[in-house]
Amino acid sequence: MLQEVAEGVLVHESEFIQSNCVVVQGSDGVLLIDPGITRSEMAALADDIRGLGQPIVAAFATHPDWDHVLWHPDFGDAPRYGTARCAASIRDLLSKADWKARVAEGLPPEYSEEIPTELLGLITGLPPDSAKIPWDGPTVRIMEHRAHAPGHAALLIEGSGVLVAGDMLSDILMPFLDLEAADPVEDYLVALRLFESVADGVEAVIPGHGSVGRAHQVRARIKQDREYVQALRDGGVPDDPRVGPSATLDWLPAVHEWQIQQLAMKGEGTRG
């Protein structure tokens, strides 16, 4: 079910790790951002969008992780955009003869039979340094950075003041760093500074996974993510409920320990 976050901006939350799909209404149709996980929920989402009386005229993937580049035939053939780096990353995956097996390894077993991969990753890369999504609707500013995944982009929906954060600023997931990057810690901190530069004008933040945050929560989420990343960098123990005994998902503490180990191997941990 679509829930209105701001005028003309609606969210559908998936059962899978509270994944958020965002629908932005324009004059001639809607923009679909990170469109969902399972066949049944995407078909239901398509029905809900038809109920708005508008077609899907454009789509955008915030980054190339499998759960952000899925598609359903009921969405139609609207152009599906991403940053140039995002498109290149998923194109590289799809060029592998065994790409389906590689994707299947990362799918949650409880949902794997319901996740459609036939149209996965068919993303058109926008020209490098594109400032906004090309569509006839509210200006959607592209804020590309290097945190979490290659070509990751947050989107600022101007007018409504909604920040679509991709896989960042979540209340249930701690920062997941791109550990294949040359400097994953600094990449993440730079992205948080980018968010901070627009925070005063943000009325709502929509993470890729988790609850929608309101204006008074935006800076708190930035601060919490920064403290977590700095603790990883400095070898400290983060005071963060997302990786403690009260973690929403029981596998998050293990991912936290794995990030510590990987950063240590890269020589990033315990750095002054």
Q: Which two tokens stand for residue 169?
A: 């600023």
pLDDT at residue number 268: 55
Confidence (pTM): 0.94
- On average, the pLDDT of the chain sits at 94
Cα–Cα nearest to 111, from 61, 40, 60, 62:
40
Take residue 85 and report the two structure tokens written for it: 């780096």
Supply the pLDDT for residue 237: 78
**Distance from C-alpha of 52 to C-alpha of 48, rounded to nearest angstrom:** 7
Parallel/antiparallel/unpaired status of strands 213-214 and 162-166: unpaired
pLDDT value, residue 271: 44
Is residue 43 within 8 A of residue 32, CB to CB? The reply is: no
Decide: 59 and 69 in contact? Cβ < 8 Å: no
Distance CA 38, CA 35 (A): 10
Query: Is residue 22 helix, strand or coil?
Result: strand
**Where does the pLDDT of residue 67 fall: very low under 50, low under 70, confident under 90, or very high at 90 and above?**
very high
**Structural domains in the chain?**
3-266 (3.60.15.10)
Q: How many whole angstroms separate alpha carbon 49 and alpha carbon 52?
A: 5
Q: Determine what percent of the chain is predicted with pLDDT higher than 70.
A: 98
Contact between 145 and 152 under an 8 Å Cβ cutoff? The reply is yes
